[in-house]
Amino acid sequence: MKLADVESHMQKAVEATKRSFNTIRTGRANASLLDRVMVEYYGTPTSLKSLASINTPDASTITIQPFDRSSLNLIEKAISLSDIGLTPSNDGSSIRLNIPQLTSDRRKELVKLAAKFAEEGRVSIRNIRRDAVDSVRRQDKNHEISEDEAKDTQDKIQKLTSKYIAKIDEVLAEKEKDITTV
E-state strands within 48-111: 52-58, 61-66, 88-90, 95-98
pLDDT, residue 24, reads 80
- Using CA atoms of 78, 79, 82, 83 in order, give the dihedral in degrees to the nearest 10: 180
pLDDT digits (tens, 9 = 90+) for 61-73: 889 999 988 888 8
| Spatial distance between the Cα atoms of 74 and 65, rounded to a whole number of angstroms | 13
Lowest-confidence range among 6-15, 45-54, 75-84, 151-160? 75-84
Residue-range domains of the chain with CATH: 3-21+103-180 (1.10.132.20), 28-98 (3.30.1360.40)
Q: Give me the residues paired with residue 90 across strands.
A: 95
pLDDT, residue 123, reads 96
> Amino acid letter at 162?
S
| Spatial distance between the Cα atoms of 170 and 32, rounded to a whole number of angstroms | 20
pLDDT digits (tens, 9 = 90+) for 87-113: 888 888 889 988 877 788 888 888 999
Q: How confident is the model at residue 35 (pLDDT cuts 50, 70, 90)?
A: confident
Mean pLDDT, the chain, integer:
88
**Position 1 pLDDT exceeds 70:** no
**Position 83 pLDDT exceeds 90:** no
Sheet holding 61-66, edge to edge: 52-58, 61-66, 95-98, 88-90
| Spatial distance between the Cα atoms of 14 and 146, rounded to a whole number of angstroms | 32
Torsions phi, psi of 53, nearest 5?
A: -95, 130
pLDDT, residue 32, reads 79
> Amino acid letter at 93?
S
pLDDT digits (tens, 9 = 90+) for 137-158: 999 999 999 999 999 999 999 9
* Helix H or strand E encompassing 47: strand 44-47
Among 57, 75, 77, 58, which residue's Cα sits nearest to residue 66? 75
